[in-house]
Chain A
């Protein structure tokens, strides 16, 4: 186990001691014990920058389940490192923020930090694992810890609802991803991503390739809240704000993005990949930004905004895949989309994290997140306002913030789709820039709503629970750091270009031997179409924002019934009711019904086997001659059995049953089995008297009736009889070996000193069976004793007997 592995599992290790620290040091906020770890990890991962900047990677392996070929292989390359830095860096900031956000006297801090650390470790595991199964393990860990974090305030009904919803959707996707992983294993024989990438050309034509692609994509889409699986993200906003900032903006929702980026070298050659990734991404971008405008809750706006930004990154990754179809990856004409994806991923993490923290501050200091109640906070919270301005303007894509740069590159990528002549992109490809542009307009609108409805306008103190004031400095540090990053990256984008972006790109689109990506981000690239698009976005955006109250009614046109949430809730309810009804349909509680199932199954299974295997055979060659006494007895027994069905009184049935039993013992006599005959005689007597006893205690019926005729029962009983008869006949006719009885005949006296062969077999040759049969008898007697003596209702008086 290397230091790298230790770094990945260190959050898990720390999580073990968190409750201890919480119990022992109640005066100190538990968060302070957590804070050093992400900082330490962040600095540790920084040390890898020198390696990955040269677009190299480090692999460390550790045997986990060697017999199944599962190794915990950790690989640090550009993409993994970028994510690790985001996870640890923003993790540290979120922990710091949460120290001031969560009250140490009112909240269960131990559980909170355990879940958070669990999540951090799992996320590091996801992005640094080279083994797909290990990746999947950590992947489910993120779903699971996210479930716990969303349901942190478990006494609230909406928290539980949101947690359950996110769990169902992400685990559904996770399982589908597992299926994809298994399919990949079937094709390549390895779980290692590196080795699968090496074989990607060979598996391209494999029939399992497309199913694997679809399964993996389903996992990525559900995790990254792509349309139509985005519905869990807005409901996950019930989580504490530090959680939303960390999980639902910067890290977990990007796990799907990571997966798509990571698997790009395997699947990107396929047109389906491009269309699905880019298509779903662009639709999500549009739908998320469109829906965000109608929200009134700060965090709901941010949630939909996250959805739309994730869609944007996803569509960029999809378009970037097209570059692989052209001979030279080096030509940066189409790879710009991938560069933009990585760049925007970083940008989004910075500004969205800070915006969530701002929303948390507003909530914390005013007691509400509803923008209809907020307004005019600018004078009370100048620092928060500044931070909000920076975050939202970056989100809207305004200069000089980093969002502007990545949005320009996004437009560039989308416009260049028009030049592609593959996969029918020349016909439908024009939709990409159009949708991207429209979505950007909406992005601009909700960004403005976010900042101006909250901080400007009329101050409404009567609607607020608390008197608003500026947040404590500890709460402001984290968003300040993130906002400064927004500005620094905005002004000097090239400091991360060759340290973070190019290495990540090299991992997403492995270049030819010896080639190094060289990303350059320019502020000004002349009067290009994308510049005019941005200008158009700003103009139209301002126009629409100003007239928002007038066209807001557009949203009312979408009927509530068509909402995806309604569909999800309905589906849950319908499936629940359907399974309940289905179960009630066949589990009706009557033993007679279950017997019908059992016997029907018996008939169908056995008759079908007889028929399919063509096993029915009737052979009379080794049949013994029939004696007239046997015929008489058989007629007698048949007469008695059939009469039982038609008699009225129970007493008659019991006596007839006794007659059947005695006839059987007569059969034993004429088939020369004296021991059996003796035993059968005595046992039949005892059982008939027990029957009579039971009969004696039965409640009096007004008039006894004969069994009512039911067609199904008749059919089933005839069927069972026929099947058993057929099997008996064919078993007799298919005898293949001689009996082993000869051995007993020869050895009964010689070996066991007995002459009654039956008894010798019972006590000597096969005495083991007898031993347990008498045990069965003993248990039956004890059972009867217990059943009769132990009546717990009036059992007090029996207790001491």
Chain B
């Protein structure tokens, strides 16, 4: 008998975006308030897991055609690249830089290379969590 998950699926459609927004908030706010790449990444993958629970694996991979193992690699590249970029400016590995930049839409924005590093962490965490859950889930 096939159950009808219409309430779950509808609720998911609503809640998903709230969770994703919250995780993005936590990620970006990490430098000033509790949060950061790690928790942000975990929350994003939490949102995807919710999607997995409400729908099935095939649908989710159609909605999000992402290879999570590539995601891990890209995340690591981001982190290491941020660190290695410092070498170009003749400062030690992983020396971060920050400054205020006038951007066209956002106006005066504080930019920090640590965010790029954190983005690497974020991507790796999402990739790792999703790889683990997906592999175990697909396993018979």
Binding site for B on A (CB under 8 A): 674-675, 678-679, 682-683, 686, 690, 693, 752-756, 758-760, 762-764, 767-768, 770-771, 774-775, 777-778, 780-782, 784-785, 788-789
Contact = CB atoms under 8 A, between A and B. Distances in A.
Contacts of A767: 83, 94, 96, 114, 117
A759 B30 contact: yes
Given A753-B110, A763-B37, A778 B124 contact: yes
A758 B38 CA distance: 12
A781 B131 contact: yes
Interface in B17-62: 26, 30-39, 42-43, 46
A682 B42 contact: yes
B16 to A, nearest CB: 17
B89 interface: no
9 contacts: A674-B34, A678-B35, A690-B132, A753-B98, A754-B31, A767-B94, A778-B72, A780-B132, A782-B131
A79 B58 CA distance: 91
B120 to A, nearest CB: 7
Contact of A763 (B26, B121, B129, B135): B121
B26 to A, nearest CB: 8
Most buried by B among A686, A690, A753: A753
B96 A752 contact: yes
B100 to A, nearest CB: 10
B8 interface: no
A750 to B, nearest CB: 12
A778 B79 contact: no
A785 B72 CA distance: 13
Contacts of A675: 34-36, 39
B109 to A, nearest CB: 12
Interface of B: 26, 30-39, 42-43, 46, 68-69, 72-73, 75-76, 79-80, 83, 93-94, 96, 98, 110, 112, 114, 117-118, 120-121, 124-125, 127-129, 131-132, 135-136, 139
A789 B72 CA distance: 18
A745 to B, nearest CB: 15
A756 B135 contact: no
A774 B46 CA distance: 18
A774 B79 contact: yes
A674 B30 CA distance: 11
B51 to A, nearest CB: 16
B79 A756 contact: no
Given A675-B35, A756-B33, A767-B96, 16 more contacts: A678-B26, A678-B34, A686-B129, A753-B110, A753-B112, A754-B114, A756-B34, A764-B114, A774-B75, A775-B76, A778-B72, A778-B75, A778-B76, A781-B72, A781-B128, A782-B131
B20 to A, nearest CB: 15
A754 B35 contact: no
Most buried by B among A693, A754, A755, A781: A781
Contacts of A763: 36-37, 96, 114, 117-118, 121
Contacts of B132: 690, 780-781, 784
Interface of A is mostly: helix
Given A693-B136, A754-B114, A788-B139, A777 B125 contact: yes
Nearest to A784: B132
Given A675-B34, A753-B112, A778 B121 contact: no
Contacts of B75: 774, 778
Given A771-B79, A781-B69, A756 B124 contact: no
Contacts of A674: 34
* Closest CB pairs A-B (n = 4): A674-B34, A781-B128, A754-B31, A781-B131
A759 B31 contact: yes
Contact of A679 (B31, B32, B42, B120): B42
B94 A789 contact: no
A774 B32 contact: no
B84 to A, nearest CB: 11
Contact of A774 (B36, B68, B76): B76
Given A679-B38, A774-B125, A777-B124, A760 B76 contact: no
Given A682-B43, A777-B124, A778-B128, A764 B34 contact: no
Most buried by A among B38, B114, B129: B38
A780 B114 contact: no
Nearest to B98: A753
B132 to A, nearest CB: 5
Nearest to B38: A679
A767 B116 CA distance: 12
A446 B94 CA distance: 87
A768 B94 contact: yes
Contacts of B43: 682
A126 to B, nearest CB: 57
Most buried by B among A674, A762, A768, A771: A771
B21 to A, nearest CB: 16
A784 B135 contact: yes
Contacts of B127: 778, 781
Contacts of B72: 777-778, 781-782
Contacts of A682: 39, 42-43, 46
Nearest to B37: A763
A675 B31 CA distance: 11
A125 B133 CA distance: 69
Nearest to B130: A781
B70 to A, nearest CB: 11
Contact of B36 (A690, A762, A782): A762
B114 A752 contact: yes
Given A778-B76, A785-B69, A771 B94 contact: yes
B83 A777 contact: no
A774 B31 contact: no
Nearest to B80: A771
B48 to A, nearest CB: 13
A682 B37 CA distance: 13
Contacts of B39: 675, 678-679, 682
Most buried by A among B34, B35, B37, B125: B34
Contacts of B93: 768
Nearest to B134: A785
A753 B135 CA distance: 40
A754 B110 CA distance: 10
Nearest to B129: A686
Contact of B69 (A690, A755, A775, A782): A782
Contacts of B117: 763, 767, 770-771
Contacts of A789: 135
A693 B135 CA distance: 13
A768 B86 CA distance: 13
Given A674-B34, A678-B34, A788-B139, A777 B80 contact: no
Nearest to B72: A778
Contact of A759 (B35, B68, B69): B35
A756 B35 contact: yes
Contacts of B32: 754-756
Contacts of B118: 759, 763
Nearest to B138: A788
A270 to B, nearest CB: 66
